[in-house]
Structure 1
Amino acid sequence: MLRSGQQRSAQQRAGLPGWAFAPAALGAAFVVLPLVAVVVKVDWAAFPALVTSDASLAALRLSLVTASCSTAVCLLLGVPLALVLARCSFPGLRLLRSLVLVPLVLPPVVGGIALLYTFGRQGLLGSSLEVLGLRIAFSTAAVVIAQAFVAMPFLVLSLEGALRGRGTRYEQVAATLGASPSIVLRRVTLPLVLPGLASGTVLAFARSLGEFGATLTFAGSLQGVTRTLPLEVYLQRESDARGAVALSLVLVVVAVVVIVVTRGRRTEGV
């Protein structure tokens, strides 16, 4: 078995030209070295105190709460949206799909400005909400909205891909047996695409946790109200470099965990 494994590995290597390994190594180093630099730069003796300060804990607590809420919003709105994009056909579908995925490539600051002119006091909807006594901009709700705005496309993209990959054969069989659309969705469709849904959910949570630009523009930076962990890192970068590095490591660890979980889910779904 060892010899066959070595032969298989040699065959796989033979499929690539030798020159590809050098730039591949440089590409890996280009991504990995900055992460290693963060780990090296951490003041490990002061690390517990730095990440457990009042400001750091408040930012971490707010980040976890708002990221959880925004992930729930993504599930509530993104799952039906992905189902429509994957299972329906109507004029303008391609345009709708393109617009839904725009936040993936839109600079977060631009997204924050768009949200501000939508939900701000003088915004498209904000002026009407103001009459009702609802002020969204520069509040904790604004943080959740900003995070959901940039994170939802990750869930939609992941789930739509899983839905298209599975096809509709099992749903059609269930429908011919008399199952209602709701039962088909709950008993057949969602269980089949559960790995894709789980991956999209984890990615949405991670994107929400790391959101910076849209949050700063739309929600500001008020300690305990809108100052999430990425904003705290940005502020401590000027006043306390050690604290900024320590909190950066926390975010890096979270990102690594998310990638490991997501990759594991995708492997199970293959």
Structure 2
Amino acid sequence: MTTDFWSPIKLSLEIAAFSSIIVLITGLLLARVMAHTKFKGKAIIETLFLLPLVLPPTVVGFLLIIIFGRNSVIGQGIEWFFGQPIMFTWWAAAIASIVVSFPLMYNSAKVGFESIDVDIENAARVDGAGKWKLFLFVSIPLAMKSIISGGILSFARGLGEFGATLMFAGNIPGKTQTTSVAIYLAIDTGNMQLAWLWVACMIGISFIMLFLVHFIKA
């Protein structure tokens, strides 16, 4: 196998791992808050959190361009601060991966937190556990199966992201060309052998991810 073959796979794994860390932290915090809080407009906010699950990837990519593009306030601020636009960079691919994988982590963690017996958490409070101690040493361990499942699924989703990545990050070999984008390019150029090799790798990795989720839930 040449470096050209492994480069998209390595890049995909790096982006998926980074996005998984971000969605794990944000997903856990937001899921914890939403699982035990009732307020006006909660349904609307949760719908927005889960929207990337059902939106076409091209719509997600379009919205990312609008939000972070050079004509937006955020995009201009990023370009001023870092000296370059964020589009067509590694970070653009990471943001696309984070956006599409976040709903899986959030939803899974929220289900896990909602399944915890409230009496157990109340008992921990009576014993003197503060908010963060309760969260770290009681809630998270009790919801661990759901959290791990959500983490694996979000990693797999980020690994396979295509549409939003292609639109927002582009197809730059060694920089933003993930495996999904590389497969598309290989098919488009008629290199079916290379496409099959990448497809086989993605199927193998995805199978392992889904098998782990099934094993954890069993």
Q: How far, CA to CA, are the matches of 1:74 and 1:264 in structure 2? A: 22
> 1:246/1:94 Cα in 2 relative to 1: closer, same or farther (>3 Å)?
same
Query: Is 2:211 the counterpart of 1:260?
Result: yes
Instruction: Give the superposition deviation at 1:134.
Output: 4.8
Partner of 2:53 in structure 1? 104
Query: Is 2:103 the counterpart of 1:153?
Result: yes
Q: How far, CA to CA, are the matches of 1:226 and 1:77 in structure 2? A: 24
Matches for 1:81-92 after TM superposition, within 5 Å: 81-92=30-41
Q: How far, CA to CA, are the matches of 1:176 and 1:134 in structure 2? A: 52
Name the aligned partner's letter for residue 25 of structure 2. L
**178, 195, 204: which one pairs with 1:244?**
195
Partner of 1:70 in structure 2? 19
> 1:167/1:136 Cα in 2 relative to 1: closer, same or farther (>3 Å)?
farther
SS in 2 for 1:101: helix
Partner of 2:87 in structure 1? 137
SS in 1 for 2:115: helix
Instruction: Give the superposition deviation at 1:168.
Output: 2.1
Question: Over residues 131-170 of structure 1, what are the superposed CA-to-partner deviations in whole Å (9 max), with x where a residue is unaligned?
Answer: 2225211100001000000000000011111111223221
Query: Is 2:8 the counterpart of 1:59?
Result: yes
Q: How far, CA to CA, are the matches of 2:202 and 2:84 in structure 1? A: 32
Name the aligned partner's letter for residue 149 of structure 2. S
Q: How far, CA to CA, are the matches of 2:22 and 2:137 in structure 1? A: 22
Q: How far, CA to CA, are the matches of 2:85 and 2:76 in structure 1? A: 9
Matches for 1:89-238 after TM superposition, within 5 Å: 89-132=38-81, 133-238=83-188
Instruction: Give the superposition deviation at 1:53.
Output: 2.5
Contact 1:56 1:229 in 2 (8 A): no
Question: Over residues 200-241 of structure 1, what are the superposed CA-to-partner deviations in whole Å (9 max), with x where a residue is unaligned?
Answer: 000010000000000001000000110001111111113311
Name the aligned partner's letter for residue 201 of structure 2. V
Name the TM-score, length of structure 2 as normaliser: 0.96
Name the TM-score, length of structure 1 as normaliser: 0.78
Name the aligned partner's letter for residue 150 of structure 2. G
Q: How far, CA to CA, are the matches of 2:117 and 2:5 in structure 1? A: 46
Q: How far, CA to CA, are the matches of 1:264 and 1:86 in structure 2? A: 25
Contact 1:117 1:124 in 2 (8 A): no
Partner of 1:37 in structure 2? none
Unaligned regions of 5+ residues in structure 2, if any? none
Flag the structure with larger Rg. Answer: 1
In percent, how many aligned pairs have the same letter? Answer: 31
SS in 2 for 1:254: helix
Instruction: Name the stretch that deviates more: 131-140 or 110-119.
Output: 131-140
Contact 1:100 1:153 in 2 (8 A): yes
Measured on the aligned residues, the alpha-carbon RMSD in Å equals: 1.1
Q: How far, CA to CA, are the matches of 1:231 and 1:153 in structure 2? A: 22
Name the aligned partner's letter for residue 45 of structure 2. L
Instruction: Give the superposition deviation at 1:124.
Output: 4.1
